[in-house]
Amino acid sequence: MTDLKKYQFNLPSSGVPATGGFTGWGRAAAAAPVPAAAPPARPSAMGDNEALPADAGQCVARGNAWLQDGRAEDAIRAYDRAIALDPNALEPHFNRGNALLRLQRQPEALAAFERSIALAPELAIAHYNRATLLGAAGRGAEAAQGYERALALDPALMQARFNLGAWHQEQGRLDQALECMDQVIAQAPNVAQAHLGRGTALLKMKRVAEAVQSFDRALALQPRYPEALSNRGSARRQLQARARLQT
């Protein structure tokens, strides 16, 4: 049986947007926080003909070291060698996908994660990575299904729940979006983007006072959060307009 523990926290860090909406942790845009960008990949430091070990495990270990060092091209070469030696080994396929993400080679990365899922259907993080790439390709409905599958396998995978909530919000399913954001906040109360997402859903639901509270919380966590500042200002103006109408 495949040991999945080693993959538990191996999230892609490529800056790939997921669904065109809320997409993960890190730098935020108006309605689209995205994962932090990965370190730039370094050029290959080895020749194409440089010998690699004849053992698949050793090739994977070398590829992992190169990937950690930012040498994504070299890492891919090592993973390719490992796959040639052991086509059904999970780790080289999965980590090859991560290396391809570093190089922004998204279609190839998607294929690598799909192969990982074929080898280990219970690997939640592979479903998450695949869903993120599907969203980046404009295949939002498929991405949402991927996030749901990832969560069925690992309910604690907050990034998947956050992105699923964003998809619901984009589709106008505000109750479901709010539920997702509330679940993320219950698990990780200090994620400013989740409070922003919650506030945005509440604002669209005309629950303006509650939305202000969520934006306040986002700003308490990230005081210079432009989108939270803007949305809170809009919500406060709506409250002021209501108050004027009642006087």
Using left for φ > 0, alpha for ψ between -120 and 50, and beta otherwise, residue 70 falls in left
C-alpha angle 166-167-168 in degrees, rounded to nearest 5: 90
pLDDT at 42: 56
pLDDT at 247: 75
Cα–Cα dist 8/18, whole Å: 20
Cα–Cα dist 87/80, whole Å: 9
Using left for φ > 0, alpha for ψ between -120 and 50, and beta otherwise, residue 206 falls in left
Residues in the chain, pLDDT under 70? 1-50
pLDDT at 43: 53
pLDDT at 21: 29
Cα–Cα dist 83/57, whole Å: 10
User: Could you tell me if 76 and 104 are in contact, meaning their C-beta atoms sit under 8 angstroms apart?
Assistant: no
Angstrom distances, CA of residue 216 to CA of 180, 189, 220, 221 = 19, 13, 6, 9
- Residue 232, both tokens: 């809170």
User: Could you tell me if 65 and 78 are in contact, meaning their C-beta atoms sit under 8 angstroms apart?
Assistant: no
pLDDT at 24: 36
Cα–Cα dist 194/214, whole Å: 9
* pLDDT tens digits along 88-97: 999 999 999 9
pLDDT at 86: 97
Chain centroid to CA 247: how far?
47
pLDDT at 50: 65
- Residue 122, both tokens: 């219970």
pLDDT at 134: 95
pLDDT at 246: 86
Cα–Cα dist 34/15, whole Å: 6
